Amino acid sequence: MKKQTAMNQDWIATARTLSEALPYLQRYTGATVVIKLGGHAMGSDEGMAGFARDVTLMRQVGINPVVVHGGGPMINEMLEKLGVTSEFVDGKRVTDAATVKVVEMVLSGQVGKRIVQAINEEGGRAVGLSGKDANMITCTPSDPALGLVGDPVAVNTDLIRQLFDAGMIPVVAPLGTGKDGQTYNINGDTAAGAVAAALKADRLLLLTDVSGVKGASGDVLTELSADDIAAMTADGTIAGGMIPKTETALAALRGGTRAVVILDGRAPNACLLELFTEHGAGSIIRL
């Protein structure tokens, strides 16, 4: 009897959680959510499966998710295996013609397909793309010294919207095409921000290996404005790898994204916690 009572309590708690999620499920029906996937969530099979379930559930309840992924560690591993030597300028890899071929092979052929397979295994219908498909992302060189590293200057969302209409989940590798037809490697966060802005997404979720933006005391700040970001960057509270992420967030917001959340992709069900609970997850940034 005690065991049965405990089980009943678990069922009641589960039912309560589902009931409390109803307003948020209604709130996001038809919304577009762009998710930047990177870090440890991509390296662990368990983490990948959990992420795939979350994205499949989002699509099932009427959200239009778009996954934009990185793949730096996988690219580094392949370059080493192939004996491709890289040069660096100010700590940033120079992407020459030989390197960009490896980048495209890994991002589109290895990383993207792994994410697609994981989502499909959970019952979703994912399609792997890159920013080169249907001229989705047009780039200009980011810095001539870095070679074929690009900054998005235009994003055509027609193909993504057609996939939404077909019930598909787009999985986008951060590659683009220059006006000369040249392939460009794009920073994953930058690509996700550009796609979110072009889609006027309701949310851009930047999954990282930290729990959010931390204040001077070291505590995660749950809400920030653009002015907060500027002040914290100026006084050094926001530093290192968090600077490009907050810069991406502000660029996406100025481009039309409603809100950006920086959250820990290692946490189980991080995306669901952010969208479907009152307390959310990570740090939400608005203009």
Could you tell me the pLDDT band of residue 28, with boundaries at 50, 70 and 90?
Answer: confident
Q: Is the pLDDT of residue 12 over 80?
A: no
**Gap between the Cα atoms of 53 and 154, Å rounded:** 31
280 phi-psi bin (left φ>0, alpha ψ -120 to 50, beta other)? left
Among the residue ranges 34-38, 123-127, 140-144, 265-269, the one predicted with the least confidence is 265-269
Beta strand residue intervals within the chain, DSSP E:
32-37, 64-69, 88-89, 92-93, 126-130, 137-141, 150-155, 169-173, 175-178, 183-185, 203-208, 223-225, 259-264, 283-286
Residue 172 has pLDDT above 50, yes or no: yes
State the pLDDT confidence band at 276, using cuts at 50, 70 and 90.
Answer: confident
Q: What percentage of the chain exceeds 70 in pLDDT? A: 92
Q: What is the pLDDT of residue 38?
A: 81
Mean pLDDT along residues 62-77: 92
CATH class name, domain 29-286 = alpha beta
The pLDDT confidence band at residue 40, using thresholds 50, 70 and 90, is low
pLDDT attached to residue 5: 54
Of 58-67, 146-155, 210-219, the one with minimum mean pLDDT is 210-219
Q: Where are the domains of the chain?
A: 29-286
- Most confident range (mean pLDDT) of 37-41, 144-148, 170-174, 267-271 is 170-174
3-state DSSP of 65-124: EEEEECCHHHHHHHHHHHCCCCCEECCEECECHHHHHHHHHHHHHHHHHHHHHHHHHCCC
Low-confidence winner among 131-135, 196-200, 270-274 (lowest mean pLDDT): 270-274
Residue 73 pLDDT: 86
For residues 121-148, give the mean pLDDT: 95
Cα 97-112-196 angle, rounded to 5 deg: 90
